[in-house]
Amino acid sequence: MLKLVDLTKVYRTEEVETTALNQVNIHIKQGEFVAIMGPSGCGKSSLLNIVGMLDNPSSGQYWFGDEDVAGYGERKLADIRKKNIGFIFQSFNLIDELTVFENVELALLYHDIPARERKERVKEALAKVNIAHRESHLPQQLSGGQQQRVAIARAVVSRPRMLLADEPTGNLDSANGEEVMNMLTELNGEGTTIVMVTHSMPHAQYARRIINLFDGQVVAENLRAA
């Protein structure tokens, strides 16, 4: 599915140069559930941004399918991204001014899908995360767990091949966290590749494989027994 070869990301400000990722090599297969762990500042988010094509690497190769997208421009990346990748964020990142339904529908608006089909798919996605009854509410009117479920619905409604989750349970209590993890597992069972950054060891245990990052380098990979 994707292969990172000697991937390096360097941030430059006026005075300091920070190496966020240093010669990272990772190979993720179709249908895998991978958790990325590591202390704050180890490069987890940078890695996820590059994998999610929200950012370009400074050097190295990023093979997505049989394309090296490392040097692709904004427009091309956006195109690949919207067809293949869904996102879940720690802070949900729902748009305050839009209702639950509209937030989820937003993901389809950029896909040239007719209105009727959009409506069906949004309803389906909302039903899947058990939030259909709240579709006309605004995000502020929902609890954190409910908001994250909307975010998941939004991430999957476009039927991406890969789901990237950045600390999806970070802002949730344990019961809601469990629920979110169960949903991710279910999605993975249906064939979606999932890459998740997390601080939580229990939640990382849901993944098949855990990659540990430290100072921008992969320090350990543990394969969990199926």
Partner 1 sequence: MLLNYVRVACRVLLRQRLYTALNVMGLALGIATAAMMGLYVWHETHFDGFHSQGGRIFRIVQAQYVPAQAPIRRIETPKPLGPALAQDLPAEVETMVRVVRHAIVLRDGGTPVEDTIYLADAPFFRLFDFPFLAGDPATALAQPGTIVLTESRARRYFGSSDVLGRTLELTSGVRLVVTGVVRDLPSNTIFSREFPATLWTNVATRFQDGWDAEFAAKDTLWRDEFLQTFVMLKPGVDGGALPARFPALLLAHREGRQDIAPGLVETLELQPLTAMHTDPMAGLGIAPGALAAFIGIACLVLGIAVVNFVNLSTARASLRAREVAIRKTLGGRRGQLVAQFLLESVLLALAAGLLGLVLAELVMPRFLALLAVRLDARFLGGTSLAAAVLLPTLLVGLLGGLYPAVVLSRPRPTDLLRGAQAAGGGRLRAALVMLQFTAAIVLVIATIVMGQQTRYASTQQLGFRAEGAVVLRGLARPAGRAGLASLHDALARIPGVAAVGAAANVPNDRSEWTNNYRLPEAPDGTRDLLFRTEPVDVDYLQALGVPVLAGRVFDPARPGDVTSHAAIRAGTAGTTIPVVLSVTAAARLGLGAPDRAVGRTVVYGDSLPLTVVGVVADVQFGTARQALEGTVYLAMRDELSVLLVRLAPTADAATLAAIDDTWRRLFPDLPLKREFLDEHVRQVYADEALQGQLLALFSGLAILIACLGLFGLAAFTAERRTKEIGIRKVLGATVADIVQLLVWQFSKPVLVANLIAWPLAWMLMGWWLGGYVYRINLNPLVFALASLAALLVAWVTVAGHAARVASAKPVTALRYE
Q: Which residues bind partner 1 (CB under 8 A)?
A: 49, 52, 54-55, 74-75, 78-79, 81-82, 87, 89, 91, 93-97, 106-107, 109-111, 140, 154, 158
Please give the full DSSP string across 92-151, using - where no structure is assigned: ----TTS-HHHHHHHHHHTTT--HHHHHHHHHHHHHHTT-GGGTTS-GGGS-HHHHHHHH
The DSSP letter of residue 170 is T
Complex with partner 1: residue 87 or 206, whichever CB lies closer: 87
CB-nearer residue toward partner 1: 122 or 204: 122
The answer to whether residues 44 and 56 touch, using CB atoms and an 8 Å cutoff, is: no
Question: Min. distance of Cβ 91 from partner 1 in angstroms?
Answer: 5
At its nearest, how many Å lie between partner 1 and the CB of residue 219? 25
Provide the minimum distance between the beta carbon of 23 and partner 1 in the complex, in angstroms, as a whole number: 21
Q: Give min distance, CB of 7 to partner 1, in A.
A: 16
Report CA 203 to chain centroid distance, whole Å: 15
Residue 82 or residue 208: which is nearer to partner 1 going by CB? Answer: 82
Buried b (16+ CB within 10 A) or exposed e, 6-22: ebebeeeeeeeeebbbb
Least distance from partner 1 to the Cβ atom of residue 175, Å:
22
| Closer by beta carbon to partner 1, 91 or else 222 | 91
Tracing tokens 């502020």 back to the chain, one arrives at 140
What is the rounded CA–CA span in Å between residue 193 and residue 64?
A: 13
The DSSP bridge partners found for residue 63 are 3, 68
Cβ atoms < 10 Å from Cβ of 208: 17
Supply the minimum distance, in Å, between the C-beta of residue 123 and partner 1: 18
DSSP result, 33-67: EEEEE-STTSSHHHHHHHHTTSS--SEEEEEETTE
Nearer to partner 1, 84 or 188 (CB): 84
Q: Which is nearer to partner 1, 80 or 132 (CB)?
A: 80
